[in-house]
Amino acid sequence: MNRSVAVVAGATGVTGRYLTGHLASTGTWDVVALSRRVPDIGGSFRHVSVDLSDVQDCRTKLADLRDVTHVFYCAFVQDADAERHRQRNTAMLVNLVETLDAASPALRHVHLVEGTKWYGSHLGPFTTPAKEHHPRHAGDNFYFDQQDWLEARQWKSGWTWTAVRPHAICGLSLGSPMNLALLLAVYGSLCKTTGEAFCHPGAPENWTTLYQCTDSGLLARAIEWMATRDACANQAFNVTNGDVFRWSNVWPRMADFFGVPMAKPSPRKLAEFLPALASRWDELVKAHGLQPYRLDQLAGYAFGDFVFSARWDIISDVGKARRYGFGEAVDSEEMLLRQFAAFREAKIIP
């Protein structure tokens, strides 16, 4: 039987980095990883440095991928202009899928990473727990553009699609605008060294609302699962750790991990507080022999302000994925502490 050949787009990101590593470790996939930077992980895969926003670059560099069976689209670009944000993210998906559809007659499946923002979680209170069949929120969303294009394109193709809707993906990655665990790890470490209070920095209501996140490893396994099950074809699935938590419960354990006193919640803009400590981070790197990363490579400051500003519950129903056969679950509190410990072990934080 021919081996499956996976193309993972966005291989240096907090989603794609883990998916690349996971697929490469199974022994059942040949993996081609795409990104502009070289992924900083080991394993058996081929990397192609390609600019997905440049259709000519895609055609030139990917034309020889004639036996690709699965495309996993985990690429993402942040743009402050909402219209450009939609256009750029959709164009990258289109460039990649059109190029590989033309190059590989073996293409069987295209997987797309979406998120809870599909339900309008970023706009205000929304129906929770959010289910996949709930109506779309009013207004624009680049996930709508991407999925609509994919669905329409699939009609003309021999392949199927799936989409995953995770929330607050946590893992190790450099330069990701959204990486909650790494942001918290950097925040706690800086508070420890400067003596600043390690306070919950957001809206008072956020302290007690229900929240959720998704472990990058669990997400990688869920994506492989749904992309290889006929029953999942042409559908979307929520995937989170499967639990919910309140920052008021988790914060004392995080303070304990960083060795800082538990502080009272106190509004603070991380996008101002953290960049002002960039040189203190450089000192920490030298003093503790940490990996030579700048603060802005590790922490997406604005994402923290966004996460902690929500005054409403953020809960996805993961029952559909469970009913279709993906039953894995992770304790989010334990996951955060485990990831902080892994960052320490990897000399990312002191």
Residues near ligand NAP (CB under 6 A): 10-16, 35-37, 50-53, 74-77, 92, 113, 115, 166-169, 173, 176-179
Q: How far is the CB of 146 from ligand NAP (least distance, A)?
A: 8
* Per-residue tokens: 326: 């993906």
Give the whole-angstrom CA distance, residue 123 versus residue 128: 14
Contact, 101 vs 38, CB < 8 A?
no
Residue whose CB is less far from ligand NAP, 137 or 167: 167
Residue nearest ligand NAP by beta-carbon distance: 13
Give the whole-angstrom CA distance, residue 107 versus residue 100: 8
Give the whole-angstrom CA distance, residue 63 versus residue 137: 38
Q: How far is the CB of 141 from ligand NAP (least distance, A)?
A: 10
Q: How far is the CB of 2 from ligand NAP (least distance, A)?
A: 27
Residue whose CB is less far from ligand NAP, 166 or 265: 166
Q: How far is the CB of 233 from ligand NAP (least distance, A)?
A: 20
SS3 assignment, position 291: coil
Residue whose CB is less far from ligand NAP, 115 or 201: 115
Residue whose CB is less far from ligand NAP, 177 or 350: 177
Residue whose CB is less far from ligand NAP, 161 or 260: 161
Give the whole-angstrom CA distance, residue 67 versus residue 322: 32
Q: How far is the CB of 163 from ligand NAP (least distance, A)?
A: 10
- Residue 160 carries which side chain, given as an amino acid letter? T
Contact, 207 vs 224, CB < 8 A?
no
Q: Cβ contacts of residue 320 below 8 Å, gap of 6+? A: 131, 132, 237, 238
Concatenate the DSSP letters of all residues of 162-192 into one string: EEEE--SEES--SS-S--HHHHHHHHHHHHH
Residue whose CB is less far from ligand NAP, 51 or 196: 51
Q: How far is the CB of 9 from ligand NAP (least distance, A)?
A: 6
Contact, 113 vs 164, CB < 8 A?
yes
- Residue 11 carries which side chain, given as an amino acid letter? A
Contact, 216 vs 338, CB < 8 A?
no
Residue whose CB is less far from ligand NAP, 209 or 240: 240
Contact, 307 vs 180, CB < 8 A?
yes
Q: How far is the CB of 182 from ligand NAP (least distance, A)?
A: 10
